[in-house]
Amino acid sequence: MVNPTGPLRIAAVLFPQFTSLDVFGPLGAMNSLSLRFPMSISVLSHNMDPVSIDRNIINGVSVGDRANTASPYFTEYVLPTHTFDNAPDFDVLFVPGGSGTRNNTATQPAVDWMTRVLGDSEEDWPQYVLSVCTGAALLARTGKFGGKNATTNKASFNWVRSVQGAQEINWIARARWVVDGKLWSSSGVSAGTDMTLGWIEHLHGRNQSETMRVMMEWNKLEQEDDPFADYYGLT
Amino acid sequence: MVNPTGPLRIAAVLFPQFTSLDVFGPLGAMNSLSLRFPMSISVLSHNMDPVSIDRNIINGVSVGDRANTASPYFTEYVLPTHTFDNAPDFDVLFVPGGSGTRNNTATQPAVDWMTRVLGDSEEDWPQYVLSVCTGAALLARTGKFGGKNATTNKASFNWVRSVQGAQEINWIARARWVVDGKLWSSSGVSAGTDMTLGWIEHLHGRNQSETMRVMMEWNKLEQEDDPFADYYGLT
């Protein structure tokens, strides 16, 4: 259970070409929760520049890989509150996914920082590590999750299993989300919100998580419900 | 059907204390769509300052009404791309909701601008007007939607019906979303994403909308599915 004497401090990691719904579904549920329980959040990036979901530009430079050739002007920008170097202390590490996870260079600052703050063993980790979608690939690259059960985006399942460090992780194909100790990992995009509601239930009970779900008019899938594993032929 | 000769231009309206999932669920689906079809987006606010979901601060000033007393430091910031005064031309007006819709002063620039751009009759409107959640209350205040069928957030249903201009609108209690001519309006928060997938089906067919839904691993409710109308006793 959470420490009742202080706010639960969330640290959310951003990187170029993150998927906005990976972030704002879970943080939307947490924002509603923050009306009832003391919480704080820091939104982290390698610098204080606005972080773009745009597939055409990474750190101000046009890119060809996984670019959006159909629509050169489709983006939104989210502003970090801190850099990795001046991140405040936190209890919960939140790592979203997105096509940007495939760009090793652009995500290296996030991976380096997580590698540093995760320490040598699970005891050193923050209270919770939450990954959504291909955010699990960034966690894998830290090399800190060997032996853990985890899941990830179902369309990108085989790619995530191929990244550096991922071979040491026990990937669960059929699960909306997976819990193993401090590590909570969800399937793709929307699954992050289901997991977050499950995590809220774990923290504060079913009545609270149901209240958040109903406020969001969210159509929840439970932990074992995974129609997308079937869709992508992962069995 | 959309104009096949140019990008479909989205204009998304922001205001302080918007609900981030109202925005980033629908724009997430549109972002995926933009990989296949030419689209562009402008994110509008009354000025170029970052727009906060924070319930404690509006336009840099601390507020007491609907403030988050449990968690003074829980916010994210989204950066506009244009102001209302220099908004580019657009085909689709997108209006999210959030607790900020209850602050008439903070939302007046958005309402004034929409009143101006909507013109005198539905013929003058852009091709589509999409509202999510209590974004319908901002549309109501323009006075342009008299006689239209619409829906809105189910927890705030009676409040929305009470705002200026809302008495002229025919509010549908039981609907995930409602379509009436150019006006598409959804129920609360997550319903906006269901509606957007329905709108993508209308634009490009079921195969495309299903592709977007599966990419997002989204558990869709259909237009007539509304468990939240029952939950809130709206029949």
Tell me if B23 sits within 8 A of B97, measured CB to CB: no
Q: What is the distance in angstroms between the Cα of B133 and the nearest Cα belonging to chain A? A: 10
Q: What is the pLDDT of residues A205-223, one digit of tens each?
A: 999 999 999 999 999 999 9
For chain A, domain boundaries: 6-230
Among partner residues A193, A194, A214, which is closest to B231 by beta-carbon distance? A214
Task: Residue B71: list chain A partners with CB under 8 A.
Answer: 7, 34-35, 37-40
Which 138-197 residues of chain B touch chain A by CB within 8 A? 153-155, 187-191, 193-194
Q: For A122, how many CA atoms within 13 A lie in the half-sphere containing its CB?
A: 11
Contact A188 B70 (CB under 8 A): no
Question: How do beta strands B183-186 and B177-180 pair?
Answer: antiparallel
* C-beta atoms surrounding A64 within 10 Å: 7
Cβ-contact A80, A117 below 8 angstroms = no
Interface contact flag, B214 A81, Cβ < 8 Å? no
Chain B: closest CA distance from residue A29 (Å):
9
- B124-129 long-range contacts (CB < 8 A, ≥24 apart) are B125/B93, B125/B182, B126/B11, B126/B90, B126/B91, B126/B92, B126/B93, B126/B182, B127/B2, B127/B91, B127/B92, B127/B182, B128/B91, B128/B92, B128/B93, B128/B182, B128/B184, B128/B199, B129/B92, B129/B93, B129/B95, B129/B182, B129/B183, B129/B184
Q: Which of B77, B194, B217 sits opposite A189 (nearest CB)?
A: B217
* Inter-chain CB proximity A23 and B25 less than 8 Å: no
Given B35, B43, B218, which is nearest A76 (Cβ)? Answer: B43
Amino acid identity, residue B44? L
- Is A235's Cβ below 8 Å from some Cβ in B? no
pLDDT tens-digit profile, chain B (235 residues):
455 567 999 999 999 999 999 999 999 999 999 989 999 999 999 999 998 876 665 555 555 555 677 787 778 889 999 999 999 999 999 999 999 999 999 999 999 999 999 999 999 999 999 999 999 999 999 999 999 999 999 999 999 999 999 999 999 999 999 999 999 999 999 999 999 999 999 999 999 999 999 999 999 999 999 999 999 999 7
Question: Can you list the alpha helix ranges (DSSP code H) found in chain B?
Answer: 20-33, 104-118, 135-142, 157-162, 191-204, 206-215, 227-231
- Nearest chain A residue (CA) to B212: A189
| CATH label, B6-230, candidates 3.40.50.720, 3.30.1360.30, 3.40.50.880, 3.30.470.10 | 3.40.50.880
Query: Is this model's pTM higher than 0.90 or not?
Result: yes
Residues of A whose CB is below 8 A from B30: 74
Please tell me the predicted confidence (pLDDT) of residue A1: 45
Instruction: Determine whether the interchain pair B218/A189 forms a contact, defined as Cβ–Cβ distance below 8 Å.
Output: yes
B223 interfaces chain A, CB cutoff of 8 Å: no
